[in-house]
Structure 1
């Protein structure tokens, strides 16, 4: 796996090979998490789904997440073809409607530990009949391979990231809050030309091509919160 874009493409191709629509890699939520998007590392899910999911803070009520408090075994769900009596009553109706609207009818989540002592999800969603056991076994092996390659890529990135200066960090943080160069300049008492210079240097250090990618990568690498 050579890059983040390659990782996303691999997730998409693995999902499609099993008749699924989307693949994702994300951090396992903690009890204090109220938003999904900050936990998503790589995904083919529509961003509109994530925004609506977070607007309702559905992560606090998701039965899949709750089940991982008891076990890290793979979890599946099925909202249409075959109900799980143990889980059906736990889906908030609005959350169920949202997932159905985006075609996330069935899904499976695999959990993997990383050397950094964190737990990660590899998740696949789609609209097809439930996975047969032989498909689950094969998908589990592929998910493990994808995560291992992703984790090596992630750790390699961390080793080669140049440290941002204090001023560059300020500029990136304000950019993450939606401020323009002119507005950041007013806040920091600097010219917008100087702000753009800091932004350009930060993008070079993090190997990004635009501000959106810079903010996303800075959040992903925990450079900013």
Structure 2
């Protein structure tokens, strides 16, 4: 009973912290913490709407996983035929999926799911929470790792958090940048992902930019605020409210 009460207090604390999030980076940090506490390794928020010829990798909104983890997904075609997208569109309820197991209890999906994902035991288990936004259509909050199946209580808690997180993420992403900041929107985005520990290559893939362009934006940031490196630029920007 004590453990259950502690878990409930933990979830309530997460909800309070989510209410205080004012930026994508705040949500990124909170999601990363929830991921670890829940026994997973990475999180992923993805759209399943958009152009019919859009690749799965282009639908990723925010993730803590390394970019190369999803490169294989980008080789199997458009979102209209992507197996994970098909599963998300096919149900409104949260579900679990073992990528490299064949089990009649799992949601139906083409064999391509296990075919395109490298065999990584620590990433075999996915917990997927389908969500919906009236302006953006179906999406999902996913957690990847290797842990026992979710209990009914854990499923309910994580599903609630997933919906709240997706709603908050959409809301903060739509808010304009503070006018007092000397940074352009692209400079700010590049600096935010730098603060999240992403490399120039990874930032480029997230924002659909070349590595050279990302470095150009980050160099501009450093010049504008007089920083000598990226770490100092992040610290200065956070201190002055340019990023949060």
Which range, TM-score by smaller chain?
0.5 to 0.7
Contact kept, 8 Å, 1:61 with 1:91, in 2: the verdict is no
Instruction: Sort the Cα spacing of 1:132 and 1:84 in 2 relative to 1 into closer, same or farther, 3 A.
Output: farther
Structure 1 counterpart of 2:161: 142
Name the CA distance, whole Å, in 1 between partners of 2:210 and 2:76.
Answer: 20
Aligned match of 1:38: 58
**1:58–1:52 distance in 2 versus 1, CA, 3 Å:** farther
Distance in 2, Cα, partners of 1:29 & 1:115: 11
**Residues 115 and 59 of structure 1: is their aligned pair in 2 closer, same or farther, counting only changes over 3 Å?**
closer
Partner of 2:32: 12
Inter-CA distance 158–27: structure 2 relative to 1 (3 Å threshold): farther
- Does structure 2 conserve the Cα–Cα contact (< 8 Å) formed by 1:77 and 1:84? no
In structure 1, the residue matched to 2:152 is 133
In structure 2, distance between residues paired with 1:31 and 1:103: 32
* Structure 2 residue corresponding to 1:154, chosen from 166, 173, 182: 173
CA RMSD of aligned residues (A): 3.8
Residue of structure 1 aligned with 2:115, choices 91, 94, 105:
94
Aligned length: 179
CA–CA distance in structure 1, aligned partners of residues 152 and 209 of structure 2: 43
Alignment-derived partner of residue 176 in structure 1: 209
Measured in 2, the distance between the counterparts of 1:131 and 1:32 equals 33
SS of 1:107's equivalent in the other structure is: strand
Q: Which runs of 4+ in 1 moved over 4 A?
A: 58-62, 85-89, 158-164, 177-180
Task: Give the Cα separation in 2 of the matches to 1:39 and 1:25.
Answer: 9
Q: Given the alignment of the two structures, is residue 49 of structure 1 paired with residue 82 of structure 2, yes or no? A: no
Give the Cα separation in 1 of the matches to 2:109 and 2:168.
37
Q: 2: distance between equivalents of 1:21 and 1:178?
A: 26
Partner of 2:192: none
Counterpart of 2:142 (choices 123, 148, 158) is 123
Return the alpha-carbon distance in structure 1 between the equivalents of residues 91 and 47 of structure 2.
16
Q: Structure 1 residues 158, 117: CA separation in 2 closer, same or farther (over 3 Å shift)?
A: farther
Structure 1 runs not aligned, ≥5 long: 165-174, 181-195, 211-225
Residue 21 of structure 1 is matched in structure 2 by 41
Deviation string for 1:111-169 (max 9, x for gaps)?
222242422211111111111111101111111221222121012148989899xxxxx
What is residue 104 of structure 1 aligned with on the other side?
A: 123
TM-score, normalization by structure 1: 0.62
Q: Is the 8 A contact 2:96 2:127 kept in 1?
A: yes
Contact in 2 for aligned 1:63/1:87 (Cα 8 Å): no
Residues 30 and 130 of structure 1: CA distance in aligned 2, closer, same or farther (over 3 Å): farther
Give the unaligned 5+ runs of structure 2: 1-20, 187-207, 231-244
CA distance in 1, matches of 2:105, 2:138: 27
